[in-house]
């Protein structure tokens, strides 16, 4: 299971302080299509393979709320 991206996991959590357009790991824009108001299927994360390491570092409150950015999702950022 690697479905922690905001676009993949839509639980519609309202009221959270998480900004869906910002990467929970580095705080930069994640480029998520859903956060930009586009169809979730068009998000880059659908074609990307998210590293297990990156997924494990997502704060619990951010899971299902915000996408990682490409750099963090690839596990090579930092
Ligand atoms: Zn990031």
Taken in order 10, 38, 47, 63, is the CA torsion positive or negative? negative
Residue 14 placed within a domain: no
16 CA to middle of ligand 1, Å? 19
Q: Are 48 and 70 in contact (CB under 8 A)?
A: yes
Q: In this structure, what token pair is assigned to residue 25?
A: 């790991």
Return the pLDDT at 77. Answer: 41
70 CA to middle of ligand 1, Å? 7
pLDDT, greater one: 74 or 6: 74
Range of the domain at 44: 1-9+19-78
Average pLDDT score, the chain: 80
Please tell me the total count of domains within the chain: 1
In angstroms, the CA 58 to CA 53 distance is 9
pLDDT band at 25 (very low <50, low <70, confident <90, very high): very high
Q: Which residues surround ligand 1, an ion (CB under 5 A)?
A: 23, 25-26, 69, 72
78 CA to middle of ligand 1, Å? 9
Return the pLDDT at 46. Answer: 85
Q: Are 56 and 16 in contact (CB under 8 A)?
A: no
In angstroms, the CA 72 to CA 12 distance is 23
Residues in the chain: 78
């Amino acid at each position: 299971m690697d479905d922690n991206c905001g676009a993949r996991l839509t639980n519609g959590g309202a009221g959270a302080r998480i900004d869906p357009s910002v990467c929970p790991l580095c705080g930069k824009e994640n480029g998520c299509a859903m956060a930009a108001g586009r169809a979730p299927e068009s998000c880059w994360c659908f074609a990307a393979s998210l590293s297990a390491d990156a997924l494990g570092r997502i704060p619990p409150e951010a899971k299902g709320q915000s996408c990682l950015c490409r750099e963090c999702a690839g596990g090579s950022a930092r």
